[in-house]
Structure formats: structure tokens, C-alpha cells
A and B are shown apart, each in its own frame.
Chain A
């Protein structure tokens, strides 16, 4: 009996063989460095020797005012960066997708492409292009505003502490709005016609059809987009670095965890790099993202209703 079962279920080596390259590469460039970072954050260099200090680096990061002020400032800015994306990028993305999926809209392929193109540009190009557009000296923004009589609204947005971060968030929204748009668009297209026809038979059309039928059906996609936005925003770095430099001016108003980590880990100008404190910041970033993803997976994903057709 047991012998015949054994012959029925041979060891399926091919699974391991096919998985091996991905597992090895992923382990080498993601898992090992991650644990290396976590390990580094538990040490400190004393007289050119790495000494184990437990969680003392974390205590300094959260408790010592020399570090904690910068840390909380960066975390707050990061959160604001994320909130702007959630409030502006995702609703607009859904709106664009809804408009694009409307059969009455002409040139929809053109709009789709035009809105998606910034997503494939590099951060550096986007950063420099917008810096130039908004430049009070050579930029086209002041001229365009004065052409419609709104010159008084112009301010050096990237240079003012109160506007700089919001301006950068909106630039980032402009760049990435194509992603939620395309994902929602795909989700809307996958809604079966039978469902919509049934809705129409029941007299649900137009806007109420969107709110009552389509929106619940695309909720899983919105969930995915939110978590992508969360992970992307808390790992952001490039845009701030290209437009405002590593010191994230004015007066650290655009300093997010990414730039704070960069300055600390690699050093900047005369500041000497501190890999141990840098790793501590990187570990905190990792934990924040891990927490966010876990909340999403266990709190939201499992409760989303699935529809069977």
C-alpha cells in the first residue's frame, strides 16, 4: 500500500530546478542585503571596530534630538507625499480610466498614450524638466500664467518651504498617474457585458451605473494601486534628489526618508557617511513598508469580495 503510493508520487525535481535561478538571484540581491542591513543597524563603529550595541541605534534615532528631529520631519514629509498621491493621483486615475472606457470618447488611444508617456520617462528628466518649467527666471510657468492674467498666483514654488513638498508631490502625480489609469482601465474592460446589460435592464445607467456596479467591481484593483503607491512613495528618493539635492531644501522641507537615508549612509559634502545609522534608517523604512503591506494583506485583501460570473 505505502510502497505503491511512493511510486505514484515521485519527487518532482524539475520544480526546484526551474525555481533555482530566481531563488538564487533574488536571495543574492534582495534577501541577503536586507539581512545585512538589519545586522548592520545593530552595530556601531568604535575605534575602527564594529561593536554590537543591540537596539541602541534605534533608541538614538527616535530619542536623541539630533537625530529624531530629522527623522520625524522626514517621516512626516513622506506621509504627506503619500497622502497627496492617494488624494490626487488615484481618484484622477480612476476618473481618466472611466472617461477612457466610455465608448463615446473619440481619440481615446491618443489620450491614453499621452497620459501614460510620463511614466516611462526617467526621474532625472522629469525632475529637470519641471525645475525648468517652474523656474522664475527662464520657466514658461510665469509667462503662461500671465497670459491668462493669473501672474499674481506665481510663486517660486520649489523654493518656498510651505509649497515645495506639495509641488514635488504633484509633479510625481503627473508622472505616475498613467499606472492607476491603466490598471483601472484594464479592470473596467474586464467587466462582462452581461452584468452591465442586466444593470441597464434594471434601469441603472450613467453615473449610478458607475457608482453601483463598476466601482465595487474594480475595488480590488484600487486596493492594489493603493499598496503600490504606498510602497513606491515610502521608497521615493530620485525626484527629490534631482530637484532639491541631497539636503532636500528649502530648510529640509522636502526631506523624505530616502534622502535622509542617503545623506546618513553615504555622507554628503563634509559629512562623513555612517553606515550603521544609515542602516538603522533603512531598517525603519523596511519595517514601515512591511507594516503597511501587512495591514493591506490581512486587513483589506482578505475582506474584499470576489465576484464570480
Chain B
């Protein structure tokens, strides 16, 4: 008796709900995302702007916790209850979704014309022929410096590597500031802000990265070893006990004004703006010789794709096209300084530091982190090994040539093109 009444209730509510849907005229789109920090920006800025342009479409942003996103998303996709639009992590995680039929191809979408091949690389099949997510944002590597300290010591912004080391020498001599804020305790900083930051100038960005994937270059080639040799020189400019200095330690050290230079990723900008009470500037990884062509790591970080099972494919496509538009690029980049639009549109940004970072795209060639595409699929994992090797050479416990050989042997043990 009781159970029949509950069943009846459930049935009635289900019917009512579906009736509600049937009468709704708007197409409703739900976005799956791991960026729960951005909920407010989506609700107050991005979605209203889109809905104003597309009156028949309603959008809901429903993020889950970053660490659980992959698991939550996969189970929703398997169960068929995932949203219409899906935020994509770069490379293998999203590629696997595409291969399992959980992401639709977006290659022919109008909005995709506004992206370069580097921007699209994070969400392309290995041969680059099919794209399955519209790129949203990237993070750029470089160096943030304390302008007040540089003025105090009469230092110019370094253009070449020798100028950088000369500046660091002067800061060290003066003794008021730790020349460079970085530690090796967390390991990833040494690789991400160290090796992947300065490296593209040596391996010529995309040229070297693709040659490594094709097997035309090896990690033991000089352009892949030399960045490690430069990192060895960093050791003298890091703070006392940098071996046990953590990532938050480095951030604090710089924002409290105790260090002059911070090897950075652009995602630091909004955090640093709130904490530092001195003026900050930024410079791209210095080139080796004056006049050399420069390269920056403009790493693809976030994109958005379409669930092939969506009930409103046309509305979803309209949204994805909008993500490729000028308007979205400008809104997103200004709402989240440090997360730069990947499209070719020129975006005016209010934050001077963010503006500085993005201006390098005009002068230098963009590339992405060398270990992210394809090369970190096997065991040993090249990305994790690069963390380890970078931290080791900075600590002075492994010679650059030995580290390079170890990584090359590891990669060759499972990657066909390097055998």
C-alpha cells in the first residue's frame, strides 16, 4: 500500500516534470566544469552576455570539485546524464573521451577558424585532423619581478640570459633581496617554471617539440640538455635552504618583497595582485644572444566541447561558436587575469601585468609544454620524470647530461618513435 503510493508520487512528479519541459520554449544547456572557482564569473558575466545575444537559449553552469571532475564526468557520461557542454582538460584525458564517443568533433565549427594550430593542439587527435573541443584559455610562462627592487638597484629589464644573470649577481651582491624565489621541495616548480619556462628558447618551441614527438630529436640532443645546464646556474641565486622551500613558500617570499624575481606562470597574477604592495613587472624568458628569435610557453589549459548525446545540438553549437568569438575572449580574459584567450582576436585587458604577458605573443613564437602531448602516456612518465630531473639538476645531485640520458632511456623504453 505504502510503496504503491510512493510509486504513484514518483510517477506523478516525473510526468509533471516532463510536462514542464515540454512546455518550455527555451533550449536549456548545462555546462560541466571543474572550475568551481569561476561559478560567479559565469553566472554574472559570461552567461548573461551570451543569453542577451541568443534569446532562445538558457545556460546553466554546474561545476564539480576539480579533483573529482574526471571521475564524476566519466560516470555521468556512462550513465547518459552528463550536461550538453563539457569542459575539456588538455590532451589525453579529453582525447580518451573523444575516442569513447563522449565528445563530438567540432573541426568544422565557424568559431574554430579563430584558433592557431598550437591553440588547438591540446584537443586534437594525434594526427591533428580532428578537433573535439573549442580552446578557451592558456597560461603563459615568464618571470615576474619586483619593480621597486629593480629601480632601487638601478637594474634594467634583462633581454638576454647574460643580462639576467648579471642582474641576479647585482641583487645578490646588494644582499637586501633573495635574487630568485623558487624551491625544489614540490619538484613541479623546477620543471614547470624552470625547464618548460626557459626551454622553448633552446629547442625553438614547436619545431623542437614536434621533432621530439616524431623522433627526429632526442632528449640527449644539446638543445634539450642546455636548459638543464642553465638551471644548474640558478642554484646560486635561490634562497637559503631552497631544497625544502615549497611552492607557497616561494609565493610568500616574493609577495612579501623578500625576493626580486619570481619564475612564474601567468595564473599567479590575480593572487599576486591581492598580496603584493609593490609594483610588479614581467619579462619573457630571456634569449641566449641579443636579437635571437624568442619563444614562450603559452600552454593550453582549458577548452569546451559538446556531448554528442545533447538534446539541443544547434544551441550547443551556437554556444561553442560564441566561445570562439571576440566577445567571449575579452570577457573571459578580463574576468580571470592570467588565463588568456587562445583565439587570434586582440583582447584589451585592464590588468597591466596580464597585458604584459599577453603582449609577448606578438613578439615571440608560442609553444606548449614539451612533455604534455603524447610523450607522457607511458611508464616511466616523461612529465613526472622531468619534474624529478629538473629538481635534481638545480639541487646539484644529478648532472644535466645524466638526467637527459635517463629521461631519453625512459622515453625510448615505451615510445615507438624514439626507439
Contact = CB atoms under 8 A, between A and B. Distances in A.
A249 B413 contact: no
B364 to A, nearest CB: 25
Interface residues of B, number: 39
Contacts of B371: 270
B388 A159 contact: no
A274 B414 CA distance: 15
B241 A137 contact: yes
Nearest to B239: A137
Contact of B186 (A138, A245, A252, A270): A245
B243 A252 contact: no
B397 A268 contact: no
A249 B410 contact: no
Contacts of B387: 247, 269
A261 to B, nearest CB: 14
A277 to B, nearest CB: 8
A272 B371 CA distance: 14
Nearest to B376: A270
B241 A66 contact: no
Nearest to A67: B379
A136 B240 contact: yes
A46 to B, nearest CB: 15
B302 to A, nearest CB: 16
A137 B240 CA distance: 8
A285 to B, nearest CB: 19
Given A137-B239, A249-B187, A268-B384, A156 B379 contact: no
Nearest to A247: B187
Contacts of A158: 185, 243-244
Contacts of A250: 184-185, 187, 243, 391-392, 395, 397
A270 B187 contact: no
B92 interface: yes
Contact of A271 (B242, B249, B383): B383
A4 interface: no
A135 B248 CA distance: 12
A73 to B, nearest CB: 12
Interface in A152-181: 154-161
**Interface footprint category on A:** 20 to 34
A131 interface: yes
B270 interface: no
A-side interface mostly: loop
A156 B391 contact: no
Contacts of A137: 239-241, 245, 249, 252-253
A266 to B, nearest CB: 10
Contact of B241 (A156, A161, A245, A251): A156
B391 A249 contact: yes
B246 interface: yes
Contacts of B244: 134-136, 156-160
B391 A251 contact: yes
Given A137-B253, A155-B241, A131 B246 contact: yes
A4 B185 CA distance: 76
A136 B245 CA distance: 7
Contacts of A270: 91-92, 371-372, 376, 381-384
A168 to B, nearest CB: 12
Contacts of A156: 241-245
Contacts of A274: 379
Contacts of B398: 251
Interface of A: 66-67, 131, 134-138, 154-161, 244-245, 247, 249-252, 268-272, 274, 277
30 contacts: A134-B244, A135-B244, A135-B245, A136-B239, A136-B240, A136-B241, A137-B239, A137-B240, A137-B241, A137-B245, A155-B241, A159-B241, A159-B244, A159-B395, A160-B243, A161-B395, A161-B397, A244-B185, A247-B384, A249-B185, A250-B391, A250-B395, A251-B388, A251-B397, A269-B381, A269-B387, A270-B92, A270-B371, A270-B372, A270-B382
Kindly list the 7 A-B residue pairs having the minimum CB-CB distance in the complex, ordered from nearest: A136-B241, A159-B243, A159-B244, A156-B244, A156-B241, A270-B376, A271-B381
